[in-house]
Amino acid sequence: MLKIEKLKVRVGDREVLHEIDLQINDGETHVLMGPNGSGKSTLLMTIMGFGNYEVISGRIVYNGKDITRMPIHERAQLGIGMLFQRPPTISGLKLEKLLTAVAGGKTGDIPTYARSMDMERFLERDINKGFSGGEIKRSEVLQLMIQRPDFIMLDEPESGVDLENISLMGTSIAHLLQKDQHIMNRQKSGLIITHTGYILDYLDADFGHVMIDGAIRCHGNPREILKVIKERGYRECLACQQI
């Protein structure tokens, strides 16, 4: 589904990502961990195609197509979606209007999905304006439910979410990634940034990676990696030879 080859990315005047290689196959969910400022969000923003993330070299291939220089909206049309760490407030645009646009005018599912995310009362409000941290995250998941992307990137979906809503977020994300379905050919894939690993309680992630100083230093079982980080810190990941 997604293949990243020797990707180098500059933000401002600084090279933030150094020769990243990553492959995510159909049906796989990968987890990305790493210290603050190591470049995790930069990788997701670059895959999504945001302009201030300049690809110096390398390429991003999605379903066999080189998307390295493709604009964001075309990537979204190809089936790439993202939950942002800090999505912007959009004054003057109601959430329902955005969802209608994302749904391509097919509004039928919106009330059902909004109810499932406990977001009905937010439909008539400007996007993220005055929303709490957890409400913003639920709104983002709701948008993904309507968009139905095939490749879903989630930047810290649990951050700022209370314990009850983590369960709602976790089960909803598991559903988006088809992780709650026992099917032979799962089509949806994901890349999730997490610090706490709470999301792993709700979906069975397949692979974990640790990014340190703009390079992926270690791969493995996500739960095992998380355990090592909790017990011994990221220094242990630097010593990891599984690259």
Q: Kindly give, in sequence order, each residue whose CB lies less than 8 Å from that of residue 195, ignoring residues fewer than 6 positions away.
A: 33, 156, 159
Give the Å distances, CA to CA, from 88 to 57, 98, 137, 164, 210.
Answer: 29, 13, 12, 24, 27
Smallest distance, Å, CB 163 to ligand ATP? 21
Choice between 27 and 39, CB closer to ligand ATP? 39
Among 1, 9, 16, 205, indicate the residue that binds ligand ATP (CB under 6 A).
Answer: 16
Residue 188 and residue 29: Cα distance in Å, rounded?
Answer: 8
Among residue numbers 18 through 57, which ones bind ligand ATP (CB under 6 A)?
A: 34, 36-42, 52
**At residue 16, what is the residue type?**
V
Smallest distance, Å, CB 137 to ligand ATP? 15
Residue 79 CB coordination number (10 Å): 18
Q: In 3-state terms, what secondary structure has residue 25? A: coil
Decide if 21 contacts 5 (C-beta within 8 A): yes
Residue 138 and residue 71: Cα distance in Å, rounded?
Answer: 26
Among 3, 11, 220, 234, indicate the residue that binds ligand ATP (CB under 6 A).
Answer: 11
Provide the phi-psi class of 69: left if phi over 0, else alpha when psi is between -120 and 50, else beta.
alpha
Applying CB under 6 A, which part among 11-19, 61-69, 103-111, 181-189 lies near ligand ATP?
A: 11-19
Smallest distance, Å, CB 182 to ligand ATP? 33
Our finding on whether 12 is near ligand ATP (CB under 6 A) is yes
Choice between 46 and 139, CB closer to ligand ATP? 46
Q: Say how many residues touch ligand ATP, by CB under 6 A.
A: 12
Choice between 16 and 119, CB closer to ligand ATP? 16
Choice between 9 and 152, CB closer to ligand ATP? 9
Smallest distance, Å, CB 6 to ligand ATP? 18
Decide if 59 contacts 5 (C-beta within 8 A): yes
Identify the burial level of 119 via C-beta atoms within 10 angstroms of its C-beta, where 0-12 means exposed, 13-18 middle and 19 or more buried.
buried
Our finding on whether 107 is near ligand ATP (CB under 6 A) is no
Choice between 42 and 178, CB closer to ligand ATP? 42
Choice between 39 and 190, CB closer to ligand ATP? 39
Smallest distance, Å, CB 194 to ligand ATP? 10
Tell me which residues touch ligand ATP (CB under 6 A).
11-12, 16, 34, 36-42, 52
